[in-house]
Amino acid sequence: MGEILILDRVVEELISNNHEYILFGERNYVKIGEHPHDFIFHFIPRISFERLHEDSLLVVPVLHYENPNDYDEAVNVIGEIHKANPSLAVFCIRDADKKTFTRRGRTKGLQERTLKFFDVCDAELGTEVTSKTGYSITSEKELGNTFGSWAEDSKRFSALKKELFDKYVVS
């Protein structure tokens, strides 16, 4: 899996609530430096894992656990969910460890609550759950200023959000 690039409005929703969510994104949306980034652009609260379908999109369950208190339990549950649904290979929990964050290389402050992502894969001796080291947050405005294709991509992501709503919320 690539590094994570996530919209600021999605992060705000996740750190403001303790609900379980499913995040949706596009794998390898953009390459920043030498690293491909998966772009998370949408969330839907409280979808059961059994309702998730094989999808061309990146699908990331956000569990109700919080680091550091629930870390071990979260890793065990992540492994169990992956065994039942091997197409789920990235997971997220909330992180209560305070973090300093930067924006464009400048320290901006201390964030009380953040996110912690995990990659999951089948290994020789079972399931391997690995904590990712970080993620990048962006806004739609920054994407528009950085990528000339954002206007078209934004329309495509809006259409995908409607499809996801019809698939998981309405049905």
Where are the domains positioned within the chain?
3-170
Torsion sign across C-alpha atoms 89, 90, 94, 97: positive
Cβ contact 7:37 at 8 Å = no
- Pairing type for strands 114-123 and 126-131 reads antiparallel
Q: Which amino acid is at 158?
A: S
Cα 80 to Cα 4, 89, 121: the distances in Å are 23, 12, 12
More reliable by pLDDT, 53 or 74 = 74
pLDDT of residue 107: 64
Over residues 111-167, the pLDDT tens digits come to 778 899 999 998 888 899 999 988 889 999 999 998 888 999 999 999 999 999 998
- Helix or strand holding residue 126 (H, E): strand 126-131
User: pLDDT of 73-119, one tens digit each?
Assistant: 999 999 999 999 888 999 999 998 877 766 666 666 667 788 999 99
3-170, CATH topology level: Cytidine Deaminase; domain 2 (3.40.140)
Coil/strand/helix, residue 100: strand
- Check residue 71 and give its pLDDT: 95
Average pLDDT score over residue span 28-54:
87
Mean pLDDT across 63-71: 93
Q: What pLDDT sits at residue 48?
A: 81
H or E segment at 150?
helix 150-164
Give me the residue label for tokens 């690039």: 5
Residue 67 in contact with residue 28, Cβ under 8 Å?
Answer: no
Residues 6+ apart with CB under 8 A from 16: none
Q: What is the pLDDT of residue 22?
A: 95
